[in-house]
Structures are given as C-alpha cells and as structure tokens.
Structure 1
Amino acid sequence: MGVLNDLKNRGVQDILIIAKDNLSGFSEAIAAVFPQTEIQLCVIHQIRNSLKYVSYKDSKALVTDLKTIYKALTLEEAELNFEKFKEKWGSKYPLVIKSWERNWLELTAYFRYPEEIRRLIYTTNIVEGYHRQLRKICKTKTAYPTDDALRKIIYLATQEISKKWTMPIRDWGRCMSQLVIYFGDRLSSKLQ
C-alpha cells in the first residue's frame, strides 16, 4: 500500500493493468489506491508455485497440461481445459487445484484482451529480468556505506540496463488502438 500511495503522490493518476506476483494483500492494496485497475496474476509465478507441490516425475506432464489452460484462445476454452486438468490431477495434487481455483479471476483477466495485448500482461518476466540484472550488479558488494550509495549504484545500473531496451514492442500500434477502445477516456485523454 505504501508503494502504491507513493506512486500516487508522485503523480500517477491511474493504472490500467497491473501484472503482479502472488504477494499477499497486494490485490487489496491495488483496489484501495487504484480501484479501476485490472489485476492480472503472473501465470509463470502461479506455475512455479504449483510445482512446489508436484513430484519431479510429474512436473513436465503437469506443466504441459497447464499450457492448455493459459494458452487457450478463449476463457471458455481455458475453463474447459481446467476442468480436464482437475479430472486428471485433482486427486493427486489437490493443493495445486485449490491454488488455481482461488486465483482464477486474476489468472484469467488477460482473456478479456486480444492476443497482442495478452502477451504484454500475463507475466511479470520483463520486470524479473530487470531485477536479475540489478542483483548481478549489486551482489559483488555485500555492504554499502550508506543507503544513498546503494541508490546511486542502482541508478547507474538502470542507466546502463535501459540502453539495451531498444526493441519496440511487437504490434504496438495495434495494441494502443485496442487499449484506447478498451479503456476509452481513461487512456485517450492522456494521449492528446
């Protein structure tokens, strides 16, 4: 909640979609600070969490079956595939099933959007890649004389990392057009 309020205090007026990991209480905090925000739980995090309860010998087959759910073309197809998944794995891994059922609404939020936009929002891998690069830079030194020294290192590292962010997002023009349609005045007023 503190981070979200800090963003709001710094001028962020609205967030259209948030892709998040399964940090407890985060959805409630988002709803409190930015009530119109769509929340998408990171599918990759959900799969990783599911695999904690799965034996190694079953993990490959289970992940293959999960792909039929999150790569489905429609929400209805995903629901049908989830029912098949439950029939096959439910008795062996009930905790996995419960976790997917508990998080279903946030796991399937991206089905409201076309394929181009789905790829942008159903995972937090881009953010994780950035964090991985920061960890690589910070791990060589375990202690910093001040918090400000650490901030400076992170700032300089971000400057270097961002130089590599040159690839445009695939079909961005089409994505923007569709986002304007989905979010109407919330987005189009910002683009003028």
Structure 2
Amino acid sequence: MEFTDTWGGTYPAIVRLWEAAWAEFVPLLRFDVEIRKIVCTTTAIQSINARIRKAVRARGHCPTDQAALKCVYLAVMSLDPTGTGRRRWTMRWKAALQAFDITFDGRLTATRR
C-alpha cells in the first residue's frame, strides 16, 4: 500500500490507526464532496452541539420527545435570533444543503412545506 510505504517507517502508529479505521472511513467516501466538507468542518458542528447541550442541561429533563425537540429547536434558533445570518449561512452552505436534500431523499425540504 502506498500510504504504508510512504509513512510506515516514520509514523508506524498512524499507519496502524489508519488501517484499523479504514472500514469506518470508506462509507464517508460514498457521500458527495459537499457533504464530506460539512462532515469535516467540526468546529461549527461542535459549537452548535455545545449550545444544545447547554440548553438541555439548563432545562433539566424533558418529559416528552416533543419537549426535547422544542428545547433543541429553541437552542438552534437562538444562534441567530434576528434571522439575518440565515441568508449568509444558506449562501455558503447552499451546495451542501442541496447535496443533503438529494442524498436523503427530500427529508430536509419536506418539513419546510
């Protein structure tokens, strides 16, 4: 394998890790390039997850699934309360949103109708 030949002598632990994780990595390659860019952009995703965790922790427990969804929805909507950032966000993520919509058979746009 070319990767092993190039980096095996210098970084043997990395090569072992790469080979062990190959089965989990290959399914990612089936997605479009736009989706892979989003998946690899972890800083924004981690920021949103932190906001959601903070909101859920402050709320305590949620008695129903609907209450949990409302808590998550309000946490995400509070990221941009005026809605002005949404326009810029969708322009930057437009290709990725379209790829998600095609890949996941319209599940993104089904809720907006």
3-state SS of the aligned residue for 1:108?
helix
Instruction: Return the letter of the residue paired with 2:33.
Output: E
- Using the size of structure 1 for normalisation, the TM-score is 0.34
Which residue number corresponds to residue 102 of structure 2?
Answer: 177
Instruction: Return the letter of the residue paired with 2:98.
Output: G
Larger helix share, 1 or 2? 2
Which residue number corresponds to residue 191 of structure 1?
Answer: 110
Q: CA RMSD in A?
A: 3.7
CA contact (8 A) 1:117 1:175 kept: yes
Unaligned runs of 5+ in 1: 1-82, 139-147, 181-186
Matching residue within 11, 20, 33 for 1:115: 33
Q: Quick one: structure 1 residues 86 and 123, their matched pair in 2 at CA, closer, same or farther if it must change by over 3 Å? A: farther
Which whole-Å CA distance do the structure 2 matches of 1:175 and 1:121 have between them? 11
Which whole-Å CA distance do the structure 2 matches of 1:174 and 1:89 have between them? 34
Matched, 1:91 2:91: no
Which residue number corresponds to residue 101 of structure 1?
Answer: 19
Give 1:127-166 correspondences, 5 Å limit: 127-131=45-49, 150-152=57-59, 158=75, 160-163=78-81, 166=86
CA contact (8 A) 1:110 1:122 kept: no
Which whole-Å CA distance do the structure 2 matches of 1:177 and 1:115 have between them? 13
Which whole-Å CA distance do the structure 2 matches of 1:92 and 1:129 have between them? 34
CA contact (8 A) 2:8 2:15 kept: yes
How far the C-alpha of 1:116 sits from its partner, in A, is: 2.1
Unaligned runs of 5+ in 2: 60-70
Give 1:8-19 correspondences, 5 Å limit: none
How far the C-alpha of 1:174 sits from its partner, in A, is: 4.5
Percent pairwise identity: 18
How far the C-alpha of 1:100 sits from its partner, in A, is: 0.8
Which whole-Å CA distance do the structure 2 matches of 1:191 and 1:131 have between them? 23
Higher relative contact order (CA 8 A, sep 6+): 2
- Using the size of structure 2 for normalisation, the TM-score is 0.52
CA contact (8 A) 2:35 2:99 kept: no
